Amino acid sequence: MTTSYRTVYAFAREMHPKTVKHDIQYGTAGFRTKASNLGYIMYRMGLLAVLRSRYKQGIIGVMITASHNPECDNGVKLIDPHGEMMEQSWEELATKVANVQDDELEQTIRDIVQDYNIDMSIRVNILIGKDTRPSSPSLAKSVIDGVLALSGKPIDFGIVTTPQMHYFVKCRNTQNEYGVATEEGYYTKLVSAFKKLRGDKYNNKNYENRILYDGANGVGAKKIKYFQERLGECLKIVLYNDAGIGTGKLNHLCGADYVKSQQLFPTGVPSEPNQRCASVDGDADRIVFYYNDENDKFHLLDGDRIATLVASYLKEIVSETGLDLNLGLVQTAYANGASTDYITESLKVPVACVSTGVKYLHHKALEFDIGVYFEANGHGTVTFSKNAKDKLNQAAKGNILTESQQQAASKLLALIDVINETVGDAIADLLLVETILHAKGWNIQDWEQTYTDLPNKLLKVTVQDRNVITTKDAERQCVTPNGLQEEINDLVKKYKRGRSFVRPSGTEDIVRVYAEASTKEECDKLAAQVAQKVYDLAGGIGNPPLIA
Ligand code: 16G
Ligand code: MG
């Protein structure tokens, strides 16, 4: 079979013409913008997926989603054969392919084929998935046209969560060694591991097996039903926010991003005092936990909390196995300072800090035998090295260890199957957290009491060009504009436990300001003062930020 390039331009011209003049960039989470501007981008990403697939000689995934954005937005990202986000060096190619004129498209494709020495005769499969946005089906059709134009074979998985797509891609590329590449395979893997760990004692000490679940009116609401069916009485998941497709309610006043960024209880979930609740985001790759106390005060347990809970539990089991496995935790600068102190000082687990964005966290985590990573926003998972899995498998089978060590090894192996190692997975993370709370006999208050978060604040500043801000040291230090870091240092010094950093957003045309300090008042003040410095030194536009 040889691929003809003839259709590339013809399809573009007749069916998917470029409709937007300005360039759009493949950012931290792929392309993301108004759905109405994305048709030609989708077509072109279908083309690129085929090139990437032939280049890597593996199956590539394409996920159509705009995560926690409003319903009118959409987006697309490519998934590499290991189930990870597409390698960074290809992001530039994606940007190029997305932005050339229609009549330059064919040549651009030919150039990539030549530069990367791609064998265009290889037969390839491209897996396509989408969230519940009303625009997703027609955008999926555009991706399919792109795949067909270069003679790839599209396989449509329909409406699925982002982490399900990552899982399918990995399963397919490992000939189902990682799991069976179907929705059923995914549910079976997670649910059987969960049930095995839980046993027949559904409650334990302070732990009660009931959780209120906010599905953000998205795919997370649809897919949790398969878990409800399979888990039954073992874990009672009570679903809220499951509005129909196209009602405009996706992520509206609910979902993980809303709860985390607004620090508010979502709409549509009843407030029962001290009841554990969880919210996922629009494509179910983030989760946060929370509750209202008897005085109706809101308490949030975010990604940092999940990270510490998971790391502490893994540390316990690893030591029970007696095996020599190195465990590490990866965070970003957004991690609450109190969580970092708790992890290093109390848990004595090494912490690495990397730049914002899942790909950075994931890659760093792979350096450990067991790498736990979470962003404060609730995106995260755990990765296990081959070395760790081999040692555990041997330990669980062989007679080298004591019986209790052997049992711990089996428990850890089951825990690995509750985890989606490819990417942060809200539902898998929910099952993991429930497993740990159950094992510890904890309610959500017990979990919260492990340490006290420092008050923190996020602000946005609009500037002429956000790229004038450059950073180093995992975004904790600002390099340009000149003098800004010194100003931040001077401000931070004035506050007890003060910490602040600024970085250009990778998903919005703004600069983000983060601050934390020992009291809420001080923290708000520090954030506002730093925001003002950004406005003054980095070309702020519009109204200056308000100083509290
Ligand atoms: C994207 C990233 C997320 C990051 C966020 C930061 C992925 C899959 N998602 O949603 O990890 O926290 O961007 O957004 O990488 P920002 O650059 O606008 O602050
Ligand atoms: Mg998401």
Catalytic residues: 67
CATH assignment at residue 513: 3.30.310.50
**What is the secondary structure of 468-528 as a DSSP string?**
G-EEETTTTEEEESTTHHHHHHHHHHTSTT-EEEEEE-SSSSSEEEEEE-SSHHHHHHHHH
- Quote the ligand 2 centre to 285 CA distance (angstroms): 5
The two tokens of residue 62 are 């394409």
Calpha distance 94→110 (Å, rounded): 14
Q: Quick one: 341 and 284 in the same domain?
A: no
Element (H, E) at 89: helix 89-99
Ligand 1 closest atom vs CA 379:
11
Ligand 1 closest atom vs CA 77:
8
Q: Domain for residue 287, yes or no? A: yes
Which residue, judged by its Cα, is nearest atom 19 of ligand 1?
A: 505
- Quote the ligand 2 centre to 287 CA distance (angstroms): 9
Calpha distance 223→163 (Å, rounded): 12
Ligand 1 closest atom vs CA 508:
18
Q: Domain for residue 168, yes or no? A: no
Q: Quick one: 231 and 206 in the same domain?
A: yes
Last residue of a domain, one of 408, 426, 444: 426
- Quote the ligand 2 centre to 254 CA distance (angstroms): 13
Which residue, judged by its Cα, is nearest atom 11 of ligand 1?
A: 357
257 alpha carbon, closest ligand: 2
Binding-site residue set for substrate: 375-377, 503-507, 512
Q: Which of these, 77, 74, 73, 71, lies nearest to 217 by C-alpha position?
A: 71
Q: Domain for residue 136, yes or no? A: yes
Last residue of a domain, one of 269, 301, 333: 301
Q: Are 149 and 176 in contact (CB under 8 A)?
A: no
Which residue, judged by its Cα, is nearest atom 9 of ligand 1?
A: 29
Q: Quick one: 317 and 397 in the same domain?
A: yes
Calpha distance 444→274 (Å, rounded): 8
Q: Are 325 and 368 in contact (CB under 8 A)?
A: no
Q: Which of these, 425, 427, 507, 506, lies nearest to 162 by C-alpha position?
A: 425
Q: Domain for residue 148, yes or no? A: yes
Q: Are strands 73-79 and 31-34 parallel, antiparallel or unpaired?
A: antiparallel
504 alpha carbon, closest ligand: 1
3-state secondary structure 316-359: HHHHHHCCCCCEEEEEECCCCHHHHHHHHHHHCCCEEEECCCHH
Q: Quick one: 15 and 149 in the same domain?
A: yes
Last residue of a domain, one of 411, 426, 441: 426
List ligand 1's pocket residues with C-beta within 6 A. 28-29, 356-358, 375, 377, 379, 505-508, 512
Compute how many other C-beta atoms are within 10 angstroms of the C-beta atom of residue 224.
Answer: 23
Binding-site residue set for Mg(2+): 67, 281, 283, 285
**Strand ranges across the sheet with 125-130:** 31-34, 73-79, 60-64, 125-130, 153-159
According to the model, what pLDDT value does residue 3 have?
62
Q: Domain for residue 329, yes or no? A: yes
Q: Domain for residue 432, yes or no? A: no
Q: Domain for residue 101, yes or no? A: yes
Binding-site residue set: 67, 281, 283, 285, 375-377, 503-507, 512
Q: Are 66 and 60 in contact (CB under 8 A)?
A: no
Pocket probe mutation, ligand 1, options 63, 80, 379, max atoms within 8 Å of Cβ: 379
377 alpha carbon, closest ligand: 1
- Quote the ligand 1 centre to 356 CA distance (angstroms): 6
Q: Are 144 and 154 in contact (CB under 8 A)?
A: yes
Instruction: Give the C-alpha distances (Å, rounded to integers) separating 18 from 34, 56, 102.
Output: 14, 28, 6
- Quote the ligand 2 centre to 544 CA distance (angstroms): 31
pLDDT in tens for each of the 548 residues of the chain?
556 788 898 888 899 999 999 999 998 889 999 999 999 999 999 999 999 999 999 999 999 999 999 999 999 999 999 999 999 999 999 999 999 999 999 999 999 999 999 999 999 999 999 999 999 999 999 999 999 999 999 999 999 999 999 999 999 999 999 999 999 999 999 999 999 999 999 999 999 999 999 999 999 999 999 999 999 999 999 999 999 999 999 999 999 999 999 999 999 999 999 999 999 999 999 999 999 999 999 999 999 999 999 999 999 999 999 999 999 999 999 999 999 999 999 999 999 999 999 999 999 999 999 999 999 999 999 999 999 999 999 999 876 789 999 999 999 999 999 999 999 999 999 999 999 999 999 999 999 999 999 999 999 999 999 999 999 999 999 999 999 999 999 999 999 999 999 999 988 889 999 999 999 999 999 999 999 999 999 999 998 876 54
Q: Are 513 and 443 in contact (CB under 8 A)?
A: no
Pocket probe mutation, ligand 1, options 507, 512, 514, max atoms within 8 Å of Cβ: 507
Compute how many other C-beta atoms are within 10 angstroms of the C-beta atom of residue 10.
Answer: 12
Calpha distance 167→193 (Å, rounded): 16
Q: Are 412 and 197 in contact (CB under 8 A)?
A: no
Q: Quick one: 344 and 264 in the same domain?
A: no
List all residues 6 or more positions away from 94 whose beta carbon is below 8 Å from its beta carbon. 26, 30, 31, 45, 48, 78, 86
Q: Quick one: 418 and 289 in the same domain?
A: no
- Sign (positive/negative) of CA torsion 432, 415, 374, 176? negative
Q: With a threshold of 0.85, does the pTM exceed it?
A: yes
Q: Quick one: 315 and 385 in the same domain?
A: yes
Ligand 1 closest atom vs CA 285:
8
- Which residue carries 């995106």 as its tokens? 379
Q: Which of these, 523, 546, 545, lies nearest to 535 by C-alpha position?
A: 545
Q: Quick one: 397 and 463 in the same domain?
A: no
Q: What is the largest CA-CA distance in the chain?
A: 70
The two tokens of residue 546 are 């308000």
Which residue, judged by its Cα, is nearest atom 8 of ligand 1?
A: 29
Q: Quick one: 493 and 464 in the same domain?
A: yes
- Quote the ligand 2 centre to 161 CA distance (angstroms): 9
CATH assignment at residue 10: 3.40.120.10
Count Cα atoms within 13 angstroms, Cβ side, for 46: 30
**Phi, psi dihedrals of residue 380, rounded to the nearest 5°:** 175, 170
List all residues 6 or more positions away from 52 whose beta carbon is below 8 Å from its beta carbon. 60, 78, 80, 86, 90
Say which DSSP state 210 is in. E
Q: Quick one: 265 and 344 in the same domain?
A: no
- Which residue carries 């010094």 as its tokens? 493
Q: Are 398 and 322 in contact (CB under 8 A)?
A: no
The two tokens of residue 502 are 């600024």
CA torsion 187-188-194-195 (nearest 10°) is 130
Q: Quick one: 21 and 143 in the same domain?
A: yes
Pocket probe mutation, ligand 1, options 25, 26, 28, 161, max atoms within 8 Å of Cβ: 28
Q: Quick one: 277 and 317 in the same domain?
A: no
The two tokens of residue 525 are 């003040």
Calpha distance 167→448 (Å, rounded): 31
513 alpha carbon, closest ligand: 1
Calpha distance 401→214 (Å, rounded): 43
How many structural domains compose the chain? 4
Range of the domain at 387: 303-426
Ligand 1 closest atom vs CA 334:
12
Calpha distance 39→519 (Å, rounded): 48
- Quote the ligand 2 centre to 116 CA distance (angstroms): 31
List all residues 6 or more positions away from 402 whose beta carbon is below 8 Å from its beta carbon. 322
Calpha distance 241→419 (Å, rounded): 25
Q: Domain for residue 468, yes or no? A: yes
